[in-house]
Amino acid sequence: MKNAVFNTASPQETLALGAEMAKNMASGDVICLFGDLGAGKTHFVKGVASAFGIPEKEVDSPTFVLIQEYEGTLPLYHFDAYRIASLEEARRLGMEEYFYGDGICLIEWPERIAGLLPEQRTEVHFSHTGPSSRRVEVLHKY
């Protein structure tokens, strides 16, 4: 998939974008999700999860548990690095091991663990363009 920019007008469209992008995801992919609170990151993850047979209602922001593991047609690992205080803490939690595993990693607040991220990854940047609308920029790092 090429670098691209999308505009969504509602949470449902952000969810649909995640489901559509999931068609091009494969085991070992690391997807970094950048954006402010409420920018649509978790809705996007719900869309990705639905494409792998994981019900939307099972997907929640992993803020308090840091990593949610979902079993679908491929394993899905949903990280929230917001509360990570240091790279050492992330290493102790074993985050890096997931990046080279058999599933797809979706990481909210990846800037908190930038030193651990693999060079080969996809970055998805969310920005508010209105109360319900978002600009979603997808950049592939290879």
Q: Is the pLDDT of residue 2 over 90?
A: no
> How does pLDDT run across 55-88, given as a tens digit for each residue?
988 888 766 678 899 999 999 999 999 989 899 9
Q: How far apart are CA 140 and CA 18, in angstroms?
A: 15
> How does pLDDT run across 100-128, given as a tens digit for each residue?
989 999 999 999 999 999 999 999 999 99
CA nearest to 100, candidates 88, 118, 115, 87: 118
Superfamily assignment of 4-141 in CATH? P-loop containing nucleotide triphosphate hydrolases (3.40.50.300)
pLDDT of residue 66: 82
Q: How far apart are CA 73 and CA 103, in angstroms?
A: 10
| 33: confidence class by pLDDT, cuts 50, 70, 90 | very high
Q: How far apart are CA 32 and CA 122, in angstroms?
A: 6
Determine the average pLDDT of the residues in 22-41.
95
Two structure tokens written together for 114: 């930038």
